Amino acid sequence: MIELIELTKEYPGSSQPAVDRLNLTIFKGETIALLGPSGCGKTSVLSMIVGLEKPTAGDIQIDGQSIVKVPVEKRGIGLVFQDYAIFTSMTVRGNLAFGLTVRKTPKSEIASKVNDTASFLGLTPILDVKASRLSGSELQRVALGRTLVTRPSILLLDEPLSNLEPEARLATRQELRRLRQELGLTIIYVTHDQVEALSLADRLAIMSFGRILQVEKTSVILEKPKLVQVAQFLGSPPMNIFQGFFHQDNGYLAFRQGAVDLRLPFKSLSPKVELGSARFYHLGLRPEDLDFTEESEPFFRGQVSGLENRGFDSVVSLANGNLEMKALDPQNVFTWGETVAVKAKAESFFLFDKSGRLMEGQLFEANHD
């Protein structure tokens, strides 16, 4: 078990800490992804765990023992860099053997360990090839192998899939799952790509500005974004978020952002939710939960202000005044400038309070229709 306790990293000359009092517990044998935009501090976290950088404050513990003062090479942690950081002047064998050679391991032991790792990763046929001649996925397997030869119990991966071709990504994903199963490794990896995060990890830790916003099982995080920032980050395209207040208008409930009213499919609000311009909320709705409609009083009516054809569907941006939302059009039928109406089911709405926290429980009562 690895525990990051109030972990903080400040770089000189920077006003904001790169990592800010971060707490996270990582269980033995699990795969966890730190997901966040570039510059959110996720690589700094990896650097501190592996020992390339010292925390400004806070502690890192493995099974209850602080490792902050333990030298890098004694931590038993492996790191695979995003660019693989292969020693290009050596052969594959030289790369794999490096961690053992520098520790003055006996030659016979090096040979057997290198051969084992090579066959485990399918590198045996290219053992004597110069590393400068390898392809991207081969480089990655060499980088993995070079780390695994030293038998780390924890493996850190920096953007493991981002430099690979789509086919190689699939293979690598399977490879990493196999590693975890057969070697019982704890894997921590960082990525800014949610697909990469969702496809590999048991749990996701979503990071922003050096802090963790939410840690959640991968299988449920899309359904349970606890914070509006998380909702805005996840999904492709991410959730539509409207900022405004609820009000009653001519017998129906509406949510007003700026001068635009969104007509809600609710009969009433629960007592927890208050009406009136003094009560500010974030209202969330997934693009995939919006349906196009012909009805005369829809949830929203706007002009098509953007179209992004993704092959199997289009992302349609609809705008009215300063309010814009995205919806998915599986038939690719809309054109620029066209006026389009959308509706949504009551159960697909997410409500976040003023500070951005998800409000849970029954909040609305749906219309009967």
Partner 1 sequence: MAEAYGKPPNQGRILTIPGQIVSLLVLVTPLVVALYMSFTDWSPTRSGLKDASFVGLENYQELLIYDHRFLQAVGRTALLAVICLSLEFVLGLGLATLFLRTFRGKRFFFSAFLTPMMVLPVVVGYTFWMLFQSNGPVNQVLALLGLQGLEWFRDSTLAFVAVVLTEVWHWTPLFFLILFSGLNAVPENPIRAAVILGASPRQVFWKVVFPAIKPVIIVAFVIRAMEVIKIFDEVFLLTRGGPGSATETISLYIYKLAFNDFQLAYGAAAAFLVLAGSLVMVHLLLIPVRDQLLERRD
Q: What is the CA 332 to chain-centroid distance, rounded?
A: 29
Given 1, 68, 72, 275, the residue binding partner 1 (CB under 8 A): 72
Given 57, 85, 269, 273, the residue binding partner 1 (CB under 8 A): 85
Asked whether 286 and 232 are in contact (CB, 8 A), the reply is: no
Q: How large is the greatest C-alpha to C-alpha distance in the chain, in angstroms? A: 85
Q: How far is the CB of 98 from partner 1 (least distance, A)?
A: 6
**Pattern 21-60, binding to partner 1, x per CB under 8 A?**
-----------------------------xxx--------
What separation in angstroms does the CA of 20 have from each of 14, 17, 40, 99, 208?
A: 13, 6, 10, 33, 10
The letter for the amino acid at 276 is G
Structure tokens at 319: 């705008």
Q: Does 146 bind partner 1 (CB under 8 A)?
A: yes
Given 11, 27, 87, 336, the residue binding partner 1 (CB under 8 A): 87
Single out the segment in contact with partner 1 by CB under 8 A; choices: 69-77, 120-128, 289-297, 343-351: 69-77
**Pattern 150-189, binding to partner 1, x per CB under 8 A?**
x---------------------------------------
H/E element, 229: helix 228-233
Q: Does 79 bind partner 1 (CB under 8 A)?
A: yes
Given 112, 119, 124, 132, the residue binding partner 1 (CB under 8 A): 132
Given 6, 59, 63, 83, the residue binding partner 1 (CB under 8 A): 83
Given 81, 300, 349, 352, the residue binding partner 1 (CB under 8 A): 81
Closest CA to 200 of 326, 31, 318, 27: 31
What percent of the chain is helix, strand and coil (3-state, nearest 5)? Answer: 25, 35, 40
**Pattern 95-114, binding to partner 1, x per CB under 8 A?**
---xx--xx-----------
Cβ nearer to partner 1, comparing 99 with 160: 99
What separation in angstroms does the CA of 198 have from each of 99, 173, 207, 208, 238?
A: 31, 11, 15, 17, 14
Work out the end-to-end distance of the chain between its first and last CA atoms, rounded to an integer number of angstroms: 52
Q: Which residues bind partner 1 (CB under 8 A)?
A: 50-52, 72-73, 77-79, 81, 83, 85-90, 98-99, 102-103, 132, 143, 146-147, 150
